[in-house]
Structure 1
Amino acid sequence: MSVGPWQLIIVLGLILLVFGPKRIPAIGKSLGEAFRGFKKGITGDDERDITPENEKLSEKSGSSQEAKVSEKDKHHS
């Protein structure tokens, strides 16, 4: 049961009748954005930071302690 060219033409004609020629580009754009978002979510190309909170806090406190130590060294020199 493959889709032939006539079935495709009929389906596209029905879509044109239902949505009209002005709304089809907007529908295509939103479908493209949805597919891109889905693909991005599946492949893991998102830029979320998944570092656990306790590691983030220790990195921040470590860098602030290093800054304090370097300031003390400057004042004592």
Structure 2
Amino acid sequence: MELFQPWHLLIVAGIAILLFGGKKLPELGKGLGEGLRGFKDGMKGVTDEVKDTPKPVDAHTVTPKPGDDLKPPAA
């Protein structure tokens, strides 16, 4: 059973028309579209900021092997 069959969409559209009326639906659609567009623009800004951040300097971690002496090397 698919979630969005044509008769599901017709029922949802009918309920929306009953609740909001024919005149309010275009306004609601426009507001929803603007909200989604703003959300996408906001997400694009976040990903751009992440891409623009400088990469950290390569740091190397040395893990001692079993049996290695843990004393610092003599200078």
Segments of structure 2 that go 5 or more residues without pairing to the other structure are 47-75
Unaligned runs of 5+ in 1: 46-77
Stretches (4+) displaced over 6 A:
none
Say which structure, 1 or 2, has more relative contact order (CA 8 Å, 6+ apart). 2
Residue 37 of structure 1 and its aligned partner are, at CA, apart by 0.4
Q: 2: distance between equivalents of 1:30 and 1:6?
A: 25
Please provide the CA RMSD for this pair.
1.4
TM-score by length of 2: 0.56
* Higher fraction of helix: 1
Q: C-alpha deviations, 1:10-37, integer Å up to 9, x for none?
A: 1111001100001001101100110010
Aligned to 2:64: none
Pairing of 1:1-77 with structure 2 (within 5 A):
1-2=1-2, 3-44=4-45
